[in-house]
Structure 1
Amino acid sequence: MTNFAFLEAEWPSLYEAAEKASNAVYPDPRTACFYARRALELAVQWMYKHDYSLLLPYQENLSALIHEPTFKKVAGEAIFNKARVIIRLGNQAVHSNSTVLLHDSLTAINELFHISYWLARTYARKEKPEPGLSFNPDELPKTTVPRQTMEQLRNLEASLREKDEKLSELLSDKSALDEELKRLRAEVAKAKEASALLTDTHDYSEAETRKSLIDLLLKEAGWPLDRAQDREFEVAGMPNEKGIGFVDYVLWGDDGKPLALVEAKRTTRDPRVGQQQAKLYADCLENQFGQRPVIFYSNGYETWVWDDSMYPPRQVQGFYKKSELELLIQRRKSRRPLSESEINSAIVERYYQTRAIRRIGEAFEKDNDRKALIVMATGAGKTRTVIALCDLLMRCNWVKRVLFLADRVALVNQAVNAFKKHLPDSAPVNLVTEKDTDGRVFVSTYPTMMKQIEEINSGQRRFGVGHFDIVIIDEAHRSVFKKYKAIFDYFDSLLVGLTATPKNEIERNTYSLFDLEPGVPTDAYQLEEAVKDGFLVPPQAVSVPLKFQRQGINYDDLSDEDKEQWESLDWGMKTEKSPIG
């Protein structure tokens, strides 16, 4: 018998991958993490194929599949987060040169066991696993096997992916599903309904999962956590009987001073319950070392950052790297007032451009806001305005690195050229064509940046959550946020949106994304004003007979790309479908 014997009857492929992971845990942790992720991939693909309640996401990779809302609803928070741990460990095994430890492979196989148990309990049509079944590490073999290299694992990953069924092709037309799959789906649905009536008494060890997630997030940010003082660091001055406390994690600078602390909550409760405890730890560390650390508190699922000398707490997607924390602390003293610094008139000279920059500066400096939305008519110089804004923020030590996002390659090229012309010292980088180049200003399309966020090299993400100090969104309309909101959730930065859409026509949701009242952007300069000031001329209407005006548009005749773009538009709450045939 093995830990995964209950899978063999109904999930032989999953059982085989789980056994390969089990056999490699001790002799080859890297390979064990690889096969644990492979087993997870097979389990998730099986679910999408057989559970009709799951909807395919925009992309078909494993991360996108588990983040799809219908999957998270079916699997629940515990299984979703265990999948996150396995994916991260699997990615580390294939893409990181750093050592994969025995602790990592044991974590991966343990989490895979819980997911496999849940899968069998939920979907098994025959015999379900015993309620009291638990993972037994003593059943893991300790034999010696040849270790696989990263290159071998990457080649294996590619070959396995080629053999996998393409879910998008298999499930694209529900009416065309073969009779066998329809029968299996009906059986699975029946088994799932029966399982839902039974109480799940299995111990899914959620506290261990939370700790694993925190460790992985810290390691992805470049914190090895390999010294005694990194964990459970003792501090004096706590308001308790002994006056002693133990900080879960301390992130140290090269000078031996604390850059940040992490308070880890080991319950499903909101991590913010640890806010006051973390503040007391920060007080103790400041008294001992003369430097106040940045505060993080997390339960592994949600993480909050609090630099209480500058901003209120806010939720983030991970932890800052060492260099990013050093910048945060250094800016406490070096940041200069924006209102007292001149705007570069060689970049912008029109009154409405300088007014927009000043209003953004007031929002950031006076109101302590982190988001701003500018409405400016097409042709009025939006790009030059934000270049001058970046110049001001850089000179005043508010910003070091900038991300400028546009929805088309042509606009990326245009923005890069504008930065090179007006702010050449910023070393602008076109991420579409210069993926490995470094600089201070990065210009990218949304899909390119999505891929960059997911990329991990040597166990670390190239762009950490704190890499960019400001993100600028060109043409900030709702469809961008609907499709690429993950980018703005990921980066913990100042955010500036640009749009030519009149302020009374911008969707309410766009304003809420910038924490603004509907109809009240940070600043606006619209077409009517630009025409009145003589900077723009009124539009001229030209009648051009077009095919779609004469014959209409048929949805079925559109390309897949056009269909996707059409479906991303907001047709309003009253319209259930797009107004074409």
Structure 2
Amino acid sequence: MAGFYTSDELSRVILRRQQRKTLDATVINSDIAGRYYQKRAITSIFSQFDQARRKALLVMATCTGKTRTAVALVDALQRTGRVKRALFLADRVSLVNQAANAFKSHLPDASPVNLVTEKHTEGRVYVCTYPTMMGLIDDMDGDKARFGPGHFDLIIIDEAHRSVYQKYGAIFRYFDSLLVGLTATPREQVDKNTYDLFELEPGVPTDAYELTQAVKDGFLVPPRVQQVDLKFPSQGIDYEQLSDEEKAEWESLDWGDDAEEEGIPSKVNAPAINSWLFNSDTIDKMLQHLMENGYYVDGGDRLAKTIIFARNHDHAKTIEERFNHHYPQCAGQFARIIDNKAKYPQSLIDDFSQPEKVPHIAISVDMLDTGIDVPEVSNLVFFKPVYSKIKFWQMVGRGTRLCPGLFGPGGEEDEKKNFRVFDFCFNFDFFKENPEGIEASGGVPLGKRLFRSRVQLLSHLQAMPDLDSGKQLTPKLADALQAEVSTMNPDNFIVRMYLASVETFRERDSWNQLDNEARQTLINDVAGLPTEQEPEQIESCLFDLTALRMQLAHIEGDTATFEPLRRRVVEMASLLEEKASVPLVKAQLGYLQALADTGFWEGININMLEEMRLRLRELTPFLDKKRRPIVYTDFEDEVLGVRNEEVFELPKMTGVQYARKVEAYLQEHLDNIVIRRLRTNQPLTQTDLESLETMLTTIGEEDGEELLQNLISALYEAPFSSVHAGGPDALFAGRDNVKGSSRRWRRLSRGL
């Protein structure tokens, strides 16, 4: 633990043990979370907690009500005396605002507090971003921390995954609370580290409700996908294939520093399109296809809410300009860029979320990929490649929400039954060939890598003293590491959790001879802790890491690592020679020229590499960054083909539609003898049961057997299992149980 409970917090824990009530499905408020899978998820968490397991992970498809499930969970745990204060964490302000609104709407008596905007307000439910909470943990209220380790009884993590844990895991280690993770990532895609965090077997979350099942049940709508193959995004632009007029335009363009050295390019490859080369006709053809094939509302007069996923801000800006060019009457209103460069992005998101307010087209750069809940979204445009399977399906999920009455005031025929996805960047093709996608690895911060590398180098030098021929590098390295640890503030909550190790290595003597245990403590616990050292220029620090890697590779005989790094240093030295007008560079000119000589590297040793580091680290900031200009063109692009894609097999009838038909049939056939016996709790014969099964299967048409089986299976799961763990078979084993139990079943099933 990171600290001690206060006396009030200890009293609360003792009192809770004495007064807490039973957890079962009957305490779930169906007005907050009434769907069967939401209740099942909450009762699964109850089961975890009743078994003294303090962590749980829910996998729930995007737009199936994760936030409402979280609200209902907090409500149930507070009403049963299990939780007094709860904390809900998300990674973006917009998601925190959504959660705050949900808690304020459904649990106003819990006095929900948005810590992003109300940092000094008290309540029983708090919502916050991870970075804000990292800062607030160190806040003091007089002589004690405002948020001590025992302040919260429950923490809920929105979109729990590896990157959140790597960046903000200190929060979860600091607070001593129940922990619930929510994620839309399919269970097989959740990484092992996340399952480890929640102490679960890989692939086995506490509960899961995924996209395919949600579509089958009718709680989400499926995508209708078109892959639109444009020539330039798939093949690039070849100078030789351009018209004479276009060739003249090509030759007049500013191609940047590379062109000055290598001449005008003869081809621009596909990845450059919409990245730094923006072609008007490519964008125009995308907009034309969207406007001709997208869903419309208001009787067909207005394009339905649409998200265009753009590659970067310049790309988004060009899309907005091309739209305004073609629709000047809508300029500045109908289509707007929503990214972190927008002046008021949250206001734009709020406006986009309102059915009748502009904008109706959101041109998004990473801000609407996840977590935004707008039921009216009916068109998605993928105008950028996506390589992460997790992110891709979260983006697709932006359109899956139900939206009754979207296309008119009528009944079921005016409901949103699906949404359009227009893929201009071959994403669906990519995931067919690479089903798991390509996930970005969590990067280790530069400071942490430097500290670890220095510890490794010091260990090598202490184990083999002859490597340090001058006997100066070893003590200097130890001094530098000890100085860094000395600037770690013990009042910082992250440092406090490793205070024993930090205090040990504040002492200079502890660095004189590192054993294996000390080395592992430094690498695993101390490396990366916050320090109060003055920051240095990033270029110098990066060169330090290059030199350290070379020193380690030299000691370990790793030529495969050493040689590419050596070539990089020689190239840097050559580029620095061109900066001879800079006094610092001029002073090292002879040394820079020597680095290019192969003789310099013969007999290289650790001390020579250290001298190289010290001479060059202050010069690297003078290296020029290559200029890559934004290129705007207007060459004629071509639609090579349009293909309809089936994302997954869809049912002919959803579970919700089937339940409606069953209910309507029962109401319309009250005079049927079998139905009459059911309603009056009369025993059914085997013939009656067979007749009823045939009847209900017929209602489900082609999928009747599966739909009926799903309906029956639900009676054996939470929340019904709280009535009897053995399900209906065990519950109705005795005839005398039927009447009273039937009332309980009806009460529980109202929300299903």
TM-score norm. by structure 2 comes to 0.32
TM-score norm. by structure 1 comes to 0.41
Larger Rg: 2
